[in-house]
Amino acid sequence: MHVQIGEAASNTERYAKAVATSKRIRFDIDRDVIRGRSFDFTKKFLPDGLSKVDQLDFLTGDEKRLLSQIQGRTYANMFGLVERFIAAKVLEVTGEHQLGDQNALEALVRFADEEIKHQELFRRVERMCAPGMPDGYIFVPEPNAVASAVLSKSTWAVLALICHIELFVLAHYRESVKADPNSSELWNDVFLHHWREESQHAIIDELEWQRVDARLSPDERDRGVSELIELVGAVDGLVQLQARADADYFVRVCGRSLSPAEAERVRAGVLSAYRWQYIVSGVQEPRFVKILGDMITEGQSDRIGKALVPVMH
């Protein structure tokens, strides 16, 4: 009982701290991020640490830059996509705090509001990318269809996926975007501001996921693990479709005719980069490994590990 009261007190402090930080760093899309600027198409968008274009050694510098811009456009669209189901799930769990911890309630209301704003930000990014790139780019997945499929799973599994996504967002910024001086300045600013608000989301994800986990029976959690495996499989399906669409678009618009073997290397390179970006970098993130590892059994951990084998290699 004492432990529970102590835990509740420290959790409410963590929610309160997330609220305070969220108020301090809150950004406005036009005033703070875009500031009347446009993307610099003479520079890369997605840094090499994420796009892995440096591994395609037969491409020229200009071609690598184009492929990084295509991947960057998809990166923004992918966030616009996942934030549709993230906002919906956050709004749903917010209801559980309505008459409870008011710090948690405020933290979650702000979280959902920020995700709705981020979707608008990424729609703006798409609209600003389109005129600077050749016609024919396609973003395949449809946000509401993906959201309906994801939200049909249990809250435990959906919160696990969301926590994974928001932790890899932080890792990408820390390790790649921030460290790359060669990318478009506006591009880096979009992800700087996004990263700042996402830092609170990752804390709240952990608290909410643990809160939901604490009320599950072992059988319910085991079903949650199966659903998480299904969700990661579904993400991989989307990643495969979009990687193929982006690689084929690049091959069509890169300005020269690549040999069949080179085109195949572009397809394999983009798929491997997207699996790294949207799955592997998240499941290897130490904070994610720790939170999940504290909830599940060794057998469940093995099941997840086996399911990930085709994606990791």
- Residues forming the site for Fe ion (CB under 5 A): 118, 166, 198, 201
Q: In this structure, what DSSP letter does residue 117 have?
A: H
Cβ nearer to Fe ion, comparing 73 with 118: 118
Cβ nearer to Fe ion, comparing 59 with 76: 76
Cβ nearer to Fe ion, comparing 118 with 172: 118
In the complex, minimum distance from the CB of residue 118 to Fe ion, in angstroms, rounded to a whole number: 4
Which of 294, 298, 245, 300 has its CA nearest to residue 267? 245
Cβ nearer to Fe ion, comparing 79 with 250: 79
Separation CA 126–CA 193 (nearest Å): 17
Which of 273, 291, 295, 271 has its CA nearest to residue 283? 291
Cβ nearer to Fe ion, comparing 52 with 73: 73
In the complex, minimum distance from the CB of residue 112 to Fe ion, in angstroms, rounded to a whole number: 10
Cβ nearer to Fe ion, comparing 198 with 285: 198
In the complex, minimum distance from the CB of residue 194 to Fe ion, in angstroms, rounded to a whole number: 6
> What is the distance in angstroms between the CA of the first residue and the CA of the last residue of the chain?
46
Which of 12, 16, 34 has its CA nearest to residue 186? 34
Report the amino acid identity of residue 66. L
Give the tokens for residue 155: 């809250």
In the complex, minimum distance from the CB of residue 89 to Fe ion, in angstroms, rounded to a whole number: 11
State the CB neighbour count (10 A cutoff) for residue 36.
5
Give the tokens for residue 142: 């449809």
Separation CA 58–CA 35 (nearest Å): 37
Burial of residue 4, with CB atoms counted within 10 A of its CB: 0-12 exposed, 13-18 middle, 19 or more buried: exposed
In the complex, minimum distance from the CB of residue 226 to Fe ion, in angstroms, rounded to a whole number: 25
In the complex, minimum distance from the CB of residue 309 to Fe ion, in angstroms, rounded to a whole number: 29
Cβ nearer to Fe ion, comparing 119 with 300: 119
In the complex, minimum distance from the CB of residue 17 to Fe ion, in angstroms, rounded to a whole number: 17
Cβ nearer to Fe ion, comparing 97 with 118: 118
Report the amino acid identity of residue 215. R
Q: How far is CA 227 from the centre of its chain?
A: 19
How many CA atoms, within 13 angstroms, populate the side-chain half-sphere of residue 189? 19
In the complex, minimum distance from the CB of residue 16 to Fe ion, in angstroms, rounded to a whole number: 19
Query: What is the DSSP code string of 282-311?
Result: HHT-HHHHHHHHTTS-HHHHHHHHHHHHHH
SS3 content of the chain, % helix, strand, coil (to 5): 80, 0, 20
